[in-house]
Amino acid sequence: MEKPKKTSLTSPEDLKEAAECLKVIAHPWRLRMIQMLLNDRHMVSELAEACEIAPHMASEHLRLMQRAGLLETERQGRRVYYKVTEPHLAEIIRCIEGRFG
């Protein structure tokens, strides 16, 4: 019988940071925004429309994710676009899509 591989456990501090990050994305509208932003950059108005919410609400959700280091903005003239900066979000979204469709 083969012995199971020994894995090292993540530190409590890192797990606390991970939990905070997961709390930030644990909202249906934020998950939808992340799905969209993984495919292309978008303006607040586009994300708000896709989530069927007011732009000021979308802005607040985006600010939360930006403060958590998941997103950044890119200015092009008067337009401000959001884009994903955390590459691991793609894996999390794939997991969610695989489990929930």
User: Tokens 């401000």, residue?
Assistant: 80
Span 41-72, pLDDT tens digits: 999 999 999 999 999 999 999 999 999 999 99
Cα–Cα distance, 83 to 61 (Å, whole number): 13
Residue 2 has pLDDT above 80, yes or no: no
Q: Which of 99, 93, 101, 82 is nearest to 35 (CA)?
A: 93
- pTM for the whole structure: 0.88
pLDDT band at 5 (very low <50, low <70, confident <90, very high): confident
Give pLDDT, residue 84: 98
Residue 86 has pLDDT above 80, yes or no: yes
For 41-101, which CATH class? mainly alpha
Which secondary structure element, helix H or strand E, spans residue 73, and what is its range?
A: strand 71-76
pLDDT band at 1 (very low <50, low <70, confident <90, very high): low
